[in-house]
A and B are shown apart, each in its own frame.
Chain A
Amino acid sequence: MSSWVKNLIVGIVIVAVLYVVNAMLSSSGFFGLGVDDYQGRLLAFIAINIILATSLNLINGFTGQFSIGHAGFMAVGAYSSAYFTVNYGKALESSFAFMGEIGAASVVLLIAIVIGALVAALAGLIVGIPSLRLKGDYLAIVTLGFAEIIRIVILNIDAVGGATGYQVPGYANFLWIGIFAVITVVVIHNIVKSDTGRALISIREDELAAEAMGVNTTRYKVTSFVIGSAFAGIAGVLFAHYNKFLSTNDFQFIRSFEIIIMIVIGGMGSMTGAILGAIVVTLLPEILRQLPGIQIGDSVFQVADLRLVIFALILILTMILRPQGILGTREFGLSWLKRPRKDSEGDEGDATDKGVPIAQQSEAKKMQSEEDKK
């Protein structure tokens, strides 16, 4: 079977599964806009976080740059696309009315996604070019600053709700979010496996050596950063049109930090690690929230009240036990079941072979003295 047929079938199956899940979540039937169900929301947020984590992983995990303002690009995508749908969504829907209600709504969402991705990519370009041309950790400082500045700017624009928040039409549902999560994973996976990906990884491993191999390191760093930012923008679009309400509180530094935690926990530079991290970091606080109370004498101690403390402890424990993240740079897959688990993670770094086996020492001396005689 040729590979594209296989991919097509896998694609159709994935969409079908998402469709069924979405239909089950929906309170108002197929393609229902407005799934309020708690589990449904969790699933949607997991998918959005997968987009955020895998795209940040492209920048931080695979290219070795340190962006700590991913939520800023998410905000750019969210607000720019929301401004578009709030002001032009209805009009566009009626001009596409011939496609039916669902078709017209889909067109509006897809346009919103393109807008969010492009504006976030542009922001990435503006932030990335000056900070990535320099060697060193300028990107961390600049992205941190950018994310805060953009948040404060938005807070002061009344056209997008300012401090009171922004009502957004609910064009996105779980189906769309799931499809874009899959697209994101596939696209980033393909980038990582391509020649471009190899160039990015070489920059992560040793930027100077990569440059010495002929890799235009600045261009590749900027490319990776812009692609990552564009996907953060897409996550923002989906979040905005799923949540139906935007507040700048959703994009504070803590949000960027949460995405970093996802990739650090899962394993920087592992595709499946980022996905796993997104799932764990989304679900864990929710699971902890449901911990039962403990009866102590007359009173009940609510363990759930400590959920953030427990969450933090679990993160710290993970980092102590597996500093490279759950998966490290490895990938989780079916081959894990077959392959004996003896991956060489061994002693990295520059082992020097100063020691010469005794048996060879005289030989070494001889060679050295021959060297001298020459």
Chain B
Amino acid sequence: MLTLENVSVSYGAIEALTDINLEVGAGEVVTLIGANGAGKTTTLRTITSLLNPRIGRVMFEGKQISGIPAHKLVPMGIAMSPEGRGVFANLTVRENLEMGAYIRSDKKGIAADMERGFRMFPRLKERESQKAGTLSGGEQQMVAMARSLMSRPRLLLLDEPSLGLAPLVVHTIFEAIDEIRAEGTTILLVEQNANAALHHSDRAYVLESGRIVMQGDSRELANDPRVKEAYLGE
């Protein structure tokens, strides 16, 4: 579904990604794990054309998408929940979700999807008309995820959804990821929380200093001594 072919990306003179080859198949949950500064956000920004690869290209469903402006990727079926959540602080929870459906005009379908979002995160239903900026970090993350689903994406990109959240909330978020996948949405999950990410994905890539250093079945990687040592704190 999504393929990165030999992608290298630079910020000015600094190379942030080197020769990345990555693939996400339809229906899969693929995780990209790595420490702070490894280049995870840069990878997602490259996929959504907020950055252009210096070398290589990004393909989505057989079409080259590198160079297509980010806003045009939404109608093509790609949605992103950005790093730091990026909720619209002065809009209410409901208005945030409505913005998620910005490219759609089918009122009934939007209303149905809004209810689905509220079923996934009942806490948001209670805070429906509260300004998103006044919510807790966990609730904001729920808004960001529910909002990104409102465009009915086929591919969902999640940038560190568990960052800075309490264990209980992290649990809720990963349960939601399972639920989204069960509905058939393909997910590329970027995480520092390797433990949870490996337990909720099919395949994984390990990113270090802009290079993919390991890849494989998530279950196997979770048992790999090197991964355990470096990312699972064992």
Chain A residues within CB distance 8 Å of chain B: 198-199, 201-202, 205-206, 208-217, 269, 329, 344, 346-356, 360, 363-365, 367-368, 371-372, 374
Contact = CB atoms under 8 A, between A and B. Distances in A.
B100 A205 contact: no
Contacts of A350: 84-85, 137, 140, 164
Nearest to B198: A374
9 contacts: A198-B102, A208-B86, A213-B151, A215-B102, A349-B89, A350-B164, A353-B137, A367-B168, A372-B195
A198 B165 contact: no
A329 B168 contact: no
Interface size class of B (residues with CB under 8 A): 35 or more
A201 B90 contact: yes
Given A216-B71, A371-B199, A355 B166 contact: yes
6 residue pairs, one from A and one from B, having the closest CB atoms: A214-B74, A209-B86, A205-B88, A352-B137, A348-B133, A214-B103
B22 interface: no
Of listed A269, A354, A363, residue having the most chain B CB within 10 A: A354
Interface in B64-85: 69-72, 74-75, 79-82, 84-85
Contact of B102 (A214, A348, A363): A214
A360 B82 CA distance: 29
Contacts of A211: 50, 69-71
A347 B164 CA distance: 18
Interface string B127-146: 00011011111101000000
B74 A209 contact: no
Contacts of B103: 213-214
Contacts of B87: 205-206, 209
B80 A212 contact: yes
A356 B168 contact: yes
Given A214-B72, A344-B130, 6 more contacts: A210-B99, A214-B103, A214-B151, A217-B71, A354-B166, A368-B167
Contacts of A360: 168
Given A344-B134, A353-B169, A356-B168, A198 B98 contact: yes
Nearest to A352: B137
Given A199-B102, A350-B137, A363-B168, A213 B89 contact: no
Contacts of A206: 82, 86-89
Interface of B: 48, 50, 69-72, 74-75, 79-82, 84-91, 95, 98-100, 102-103, 130-131, 133-138, 140, 147-148, 151, 164-169, 171, 174, 195-196, 199
A214 B130 CA distance: 24
A360 B196 CA distance: 20
Nearest to A218: B69
Contact of A371 (B98, B138, B147, B195): B195
B77 to A, nearest CB: 11
Given A213-B151, A353-B166, A367-B171, A205 B89 contact: yes
A208 B137 contact: no
A198 B48 CA distance: 22
Given A209-B86, A365-B167, A351 B136 contact: yes
Contacts of B196: 371
A267 to B, nearest CB: 12
Given A205-B90, A212-B80, A364-B166, A353 B136 contact: yes
Nearest to A368: B167
Contacts of A353: 136-138, 165-166, 169
Contacts of A201: 88, 90-91
A364 B168 CA distance: 5
Contact of A351 (B102, B131, B135): B135
Contacts of B134: 344, 346-348
Nearest to B219: A374
Contacts of B133: 348-349
Contacts of A371: 171, 174, 195-196, 199
Contacts of A198: 91, 95, 98-99, 102
A209 B144 CA distance: 9
A213 B74 contact: yes
Of listed B86, B99, B130, B140, residue having the most chain A CB within 10 A: B99
B102 A374 contact: no
A344 B92 CA distance: 11
Contact of A214 (B75, B138, B195): B75
Nearest to A220: B71
B75 to A, nearest CB: 6
Contact of A209 (B69, B75, B88): B88
